Each structure stands twice: as C-alpha cells, then as structure tokens.
C-alpha cells in the first residue's frame, strides 16, 4: 500500500472511532488533536499529531504547543517545559516502536493510559486560587462599574415638548400614531404602476 492509501484508511478509522468524542478534533485530513483528561482537570493536556506526506513510513509530527497547554506553562513555570519534553520523549519512543503502521489512535490511547505517569511531575497550583490573584495587572484608578449608576437619557426642553404633544394627558401615545396613511400610500403606488 502507498502512504496515501494508508493515510486514507487511518483517517476513515479515526473518524469512525472518535465520532462523537468531544476530546478528539480533526484540524485537517492530516492533523488531529486529542485532549487527554477531562475539562477542568488541571492535569489535562492536548496532543496534536500531524502526518507527513510519507507517514506512516516516517514518524508523524507530535506537538504540545496548543494554547490549551499554556496552563502547564502558567501553573508550573520552572517544570513546564520539562513536563512537556518528558511527554513528547515518551510519545517518540512509542512512535519508534510502531513506525510503519497506523499509529495515531495508538499514540492517543497510549497518552490516555499513561496520563498520570506523564503528569507526575506536574503540580498545579491549588485550583481554588483565582488566576487574577496570581497575575498582577496594572489597572488605572477607576471606580468599579458596580458602584456606577446608570445615567438616564437627558432630554432637552424641545424634545420634552415634542414628546408631550404626541401623548395624551396620561403619557400614552394616541391609537394609530404609527399607522401609515393608506390614501397617501395608494396615490404613490399608482404613480409607480404607470
């Protein structure tokens, strides 16, 4: 089989296996992402696998540079690259073992099965601490928006008079104030027909 035939068969298999799986995402017919771990799990990470033109005879490109993985960098600054490099090294070992065969599914499952081992050196900060308290952001001295009162629209005297002329003594608009003058409309419509 040629590389393209192998890729087509694997693509079809991946689509059928991961149909409905929220963790799996097909970025293109040759690039896939899989989230290892549940949403909200501080030890969750995302693996992206891209096939080269000669895949599976050559290794795929494995990346952990997705924005989702910035939590690893953010929460553990000094060890983050070590954690990522460790995961990538272990995945590369699995690639070498399976070189020449369809391995995307195998790599995703390998990562799922070994998630705890991969993330053993990742010690996230207690998730109950809000991120805003970790980041120091300079903000200008402004009053909090919750204390501001909503300003009512101010009308000029002329606008108030015009509004009062349109309404009755109760402040209600008279019946039919927005109706279209049928006679005027029919006259303009007949000119268009001629």
Q: What is the pLDDT of residues 141-185, one digit of tens each?
A: 444 555 556 677 788 888 888 877 777 767 677 777 677 666 666
User: What's the total number of domains in the chain?
Assistant: 1
> Would 46 be classed as within a structural domain?
yes
pTM: 0.55
Q: Which residues pair with 26 in a beta bridge?
A: 32
> Would 62 be classed as within a structural domain?
yes
pLDDT at 75 over 70: no
> Would 131 be classed as within a structural domain?
no
For residue 90, the domain's CATH number is 3.10.110.10
> Would 151 be classed as within a structural domain?
no
> Would 17 be classed as within a structural domain?
yes
C-alpha closest to that of 95 among 144, 131, 123, 62: 62
Cis peptide before 11 (omega within 30 of 0): no
pLDDT at 21 over 50: yes
Domain membership of residue 41 as a residue range: 3-119
> Would 53 be classed as within a structural domain?
yes
Terminal Cα-to-Cα distance of the chain (whole angstroms): 74
């Amino acid at each position: 089989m040629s590389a393209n035939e192998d890729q087509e068969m694997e693509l079809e298999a991946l689509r059928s296996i991961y149909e409905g799986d929220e963790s799996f995402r097909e970025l293109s017919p040759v690039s896939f992402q899989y989230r290892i771990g549940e949403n909200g799990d501080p030890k969750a990470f995302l693996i992206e696998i891209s096939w080269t033109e000669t895949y599976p005879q050559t290794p795929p490109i494995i990346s952990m540079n997705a924005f989702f993985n910035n939590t690893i960098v953010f929460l553990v600054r000094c060890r983050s690259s070590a954690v990522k490099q460790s995961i990538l090294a272990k995945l590369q070992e699995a690639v070498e073992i399976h070189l020449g065969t369809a391995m995307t599914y195998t790599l995703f499952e390998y990562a799922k099965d070994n998630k705890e081992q991969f993330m053993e050196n990742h010690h996230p900060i207690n998730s109950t601490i809000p991120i805003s308290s970790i980041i120091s952001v300079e903000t200008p001295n402004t009053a909090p928006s919750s204390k501001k009162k909503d300003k009512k629209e101010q009308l000029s005297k002329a606008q108030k008079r015009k509004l009062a002329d349109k309404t009755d003594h109760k402040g209600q608009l008279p019946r039919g104030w927005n109706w279209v003058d049928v006679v005027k409309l029919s006259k303009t419509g007949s000119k268009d027909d001629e």
